């Protein structure tokens, strides 16, 4: 029994020993496995730390700095635009904008923030993403996403700054046009700079979201009006609040631009146009100062100081090319061009001030008939009465007598077919003076007598802008000087000397022309201007064919006739009536305002 127990004990001890050894081996394996795992993890962590701190250390240090340090662009007030008497046509008002700081997050991290911001600003997330993509992903310059935000939008963002990290609400000076649509085509408008313009102006310190002049004076004088951009380097906390200003470069305000426009006269011109498509230009015939320049249809430049809504854009598109300044676009000048034909004839020496010709109901030229407006003719007339009644058959005979060359030459001497020199040259049409060489080259046809006649009465291919027509009338009124028009007020002593060029017209030519244009108003087609409320007025009407559309209506005039102070040209596009009936009353309205204002101003000066 004892022997059996001893044997059993030895067997149990052996089994127990084997179990213990197996357990120890397993523990050792587990420990080794754990050590190996720990070594691998520590090695990976160490490698990552090496990569982050050594390989990419500079990048992440810069990233941390960008998240802590921001650059905020600052701009002083854009230069004001004033009328000739110092009244504000374009200025600025205090507002707020929302901008995104691209360096605040990686691109993917913006999604949640932009989704929240989209609901506050009523801008799609895709649009906000596009604004971020415009700038480099790590750009330190903020990207403007909305201007002119209201108080409710400001409050919602500022109350939830922790949800809008990287979003900035800042004060802004927003462009404002206090008179709305008034002089819109002259002033132009501002809008956010696009990628193409950014590339073209890469050395002029523009950033995405900056405003830039897009048209009119705003574009022509962009560099003077915008001033110099400044900036601040600031330190921000975790939610983007500024806690310290690190550096500051003050912005320089834009220059003030004073125009030659008169606010009251501009209002009168736009009122006279009403809803008609067309243009009115008023000049000082002695200096070239543009006193008024109106165009219809128009637009409100205030729409573009913020991003224009799709609804507002569609309403503008429904109009007939509202951004086109029709005062600078070219049209057939009709009978207003007879001024040039008369000058060409009298200066040629082939016709004199005493020339008298028979007029007829019509003339047949090359199978075409040139009719008089009254369908019966005006009997025997000279240049004065031919201008008064706008005789087509008189000027057709004169044109055949002198040929095309003198007429085309004098048109060019008056500046037709070329820029006038006005500051809005980027928007100005040259007009067109056709000639035999052009016709042969472009149309493969020779020049006919009918072409000469059509040109002489302002039809056919001849094209003139309302501003060019105003220069023509100014030259007759001021004694034979071609003036260069200008919109920005200059030193009068310099402008008179540099802006006038003698056309060397014979005194007899000027005498006949001045008498003829006075006769137009006193007894001819321009009697709508024969008003007791006005001093003596001289002018010329025109009715231009534009088949298959209705006719254009023209009237150009200056006053007082003996010593002109103002030239006004009115043009009504496809008005469907005569220049004397439609355009002359527009000219009258502008002149009445001019002389009424002048009388009022003179009275005030005397009382003082």
Rounded to the nearest 5 degrees, what angle is found at the Cα of 552, between the Cα atoms of 482 and 343?
Answer: 30
Cβ-contact 100, 143 below 8 angstroms: yes
Strands 211-215 and 189-192: antiparallel
**Residue linked to tokens 């230069």:** 79
CA–chain centroid gap for 381, Å, is 48
**Strand pairing partners for 279?**
295, 571
CA distance 535 to 591: 9
Up-side HSE of residue 557: CA atoms within 13 Å toward CB? Answer: 38
Condensed to tens digits (0 to 9), the pLDDT of residues 249-285 reads 676 789 999 999 999 999 999 999 999 999 999 999 9
| pLDDT of res. 568 | 98
CA separation (Å) from 366 to 344, 358, 383, 401, 457?
A: 23, 20, 25, 16, 16
Q: Could you give the 3-state DSSP secondary structure of residue 427?
A: helix
Main-chain phi, psi angles of 152, to 5 degrees:
-65, -40
**To the nearest whole number, what is the mean pLDDT of the chain?**
86
CA separation (Å) from 430 to 422, 426, 434, 543, 596?
A: 12, 11, 12, 21, 35
Rounded to the nearest 5 degrees, what angle is found at the Cα of 211, between the Cα atoms of 129 and 137?
Answer: 30
Strands 230-236 and 69-74: antiparallel
CA separation (Å) from 13 to 2, 8, 50, 67, 98?
A: 16, 9, 54, 70, 83
Domains of the chain: 67-258 (3.90.1310.10), 263-312+326-607 (3.40.710.10)
| pLDDT of res. 54 | 55
**Residue linked to tokens 């050894």:** 21
Residues 141-151, mean pLDDT to the nearest whole number = 83
Rounded to the nearest 5 degrees, what angle is found at the Cα of 375, between the Cα atoms of 372 and 378?
Answer: 65
Tally of helices (H runs) and strands (E runs) in the chain:
21, 21
Q: Exposure pattern of 537-569 as b/e (b: 16+ CB <10 Å)?
A: bbbbbbbbeeeeeebbbbbbbbbebeebbbbbb
**Residue linked to tokens 């635009």:** 81
Instruction: State the pLDDT confidence band at 129, using cuts at 50, 70 and 90.
Output: confident
CA distance 464 to 411: 10
Condensed to tens digits (0 to 9), the pLDDT of residues 393-441 reads 999 999 999 999 999 999 999 999 999 999 999 999 999 999 999 999 9
CA distance 524 to 335: 13
Condensed to tens digits (0 to 9), the pLDDT of residues 192-220 reads 888 888 888 878 878 777 889 999 999 99
Measured from the Cβ of residue 527, the count of other Cβ atoms closer than 10 Å reads 13
Residues 150-162, mean pLDDT to the nearest whole number = 84
pLDDT at position 1 over 80: no
CA distance 292 to 245: 48
Per DSSP, which regions of 476-596 are E strands? Answer: 481-483, 500-502, 538-546, 549-559, 566-572
Rg (CA), the chain: 39
pLDDT at position 23 over 90: no
Cβ-contact 272, 586 below 8 angstroms: yes
């Amino acid at each position: 029994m004892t022997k059996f127990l001893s044997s059993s004990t030895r067997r149990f001890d052996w089994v127990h020993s084997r179990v213990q050894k197996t357990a120890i081996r397993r523990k050792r394996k587990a420990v080794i496995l754990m050590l190996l795992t720990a070594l691998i993890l520590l090695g990976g962590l160490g490698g990552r730390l090496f990569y982050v701190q050594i390989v990419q250390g500079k990048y992440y240090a810069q990233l941390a700095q960008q998240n802590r340090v921001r650059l905020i662009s600052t701009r002083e007030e854009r230069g004001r635009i004033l009328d000739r008497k110092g009244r504000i046509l374009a200025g600025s008002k205090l507002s707020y904008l929302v901008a995104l700081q691209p360096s605040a997050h990686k691109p993917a991290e913006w999604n949640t923030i932009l989704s929240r911001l989209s609901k506050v600003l009523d801008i799609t997330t895709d649009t906000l993403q596009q604004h971020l993509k415009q700038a480099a992903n790590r750009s330190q310059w903020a990207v403007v996403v909305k201007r002119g935000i209201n108080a409710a939008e400001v409050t919602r963002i500022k109350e939830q700054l922790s949800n809008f990290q990287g979003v900035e609400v800042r004060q802004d000076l927003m462009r404002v046009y206090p008179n709305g649509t008034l002089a819109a085509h002259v002033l132009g408008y501002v809008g956010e700079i696009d990628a193409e313009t950014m590339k073209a102006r890469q050395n002029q310190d523009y950033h995405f979201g900056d405003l830039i002049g897009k048209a009119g004076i705003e574009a022509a004088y962009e560099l003077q009006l915008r001033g110099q951009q400044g900036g601040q380097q600031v330190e921000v906390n975790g939610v983007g609040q500024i806690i310290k200003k690190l550096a500051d470069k003050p912005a320089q305000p834009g220059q003030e631009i004073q125009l030659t426009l008169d606010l009251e006269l501009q209002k009168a011109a736009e009122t006279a146009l009403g809803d008609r498509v067309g243009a009115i230009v008023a000049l000082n015939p002695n200096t070239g100062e543009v006193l008024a320049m109106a165009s219809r249809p128009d637009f409100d430049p205030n729409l573009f100081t913020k991003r224009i809504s799709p609804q507002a854009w569609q309403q503008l598109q429904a109009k007939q090319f509202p951004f086109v300044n029709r005062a600078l676009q070219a049209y057939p000048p009709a009978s207003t061009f007879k001024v040039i034909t008369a000058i060409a004839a009298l200066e040629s020496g082939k016709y004199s001030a005493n020339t008298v010709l028979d007029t007829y109901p019509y003339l047949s030229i090359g199978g075409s008939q040139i009719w008089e407006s009254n369908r019966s003719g005006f009997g025997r007339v000279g240049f004065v009465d031919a201008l008064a009644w706008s005789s087509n058959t008189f000027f057709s005979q004169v044109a055949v007598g002198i040929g095309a060359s003198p007429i085309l030459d004098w048109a060019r001497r008056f500046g037709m077919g070329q820029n006038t020199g006005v500051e809005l040259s980027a928007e100005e049409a040259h007009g067109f003076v056709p000639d035999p060489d052009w016709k042969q080259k472009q149309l493969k046809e020779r020049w006919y007598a009918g072409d000469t006649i059509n040109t002489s009465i302002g039809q056919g291919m001849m094209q003139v802008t309302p501003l060019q027509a105003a220069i023509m009338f100014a030259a007759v009124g001021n004694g034979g000087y071609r003036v260069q028009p200008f919109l920005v007020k200059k030193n009068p002593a310099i402008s008179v000397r540099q802006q006038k060029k003698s056309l060397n017209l014979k005194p007899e030519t000027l005498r006949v022309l001045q008498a003829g244009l006075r006769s137009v108003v006193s007894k001819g087609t321009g009697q709508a201007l024969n008003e007791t409320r006005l001093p003596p007025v001289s002018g010329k009407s025109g009715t231009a064919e534009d088949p298959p559309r209705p006719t254009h209506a023209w009237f150009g005039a200056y006053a007082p006739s003996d010593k002109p102070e103002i030239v006004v040209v009115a043009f009504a596009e496809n008005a469907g009536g005569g220049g004397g009936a439609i355009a002359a009353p527009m000219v009258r309205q502008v002149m009445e305002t001019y002389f009424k204002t002048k009388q009022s101003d003179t009275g005030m000066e005397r009382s003082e």
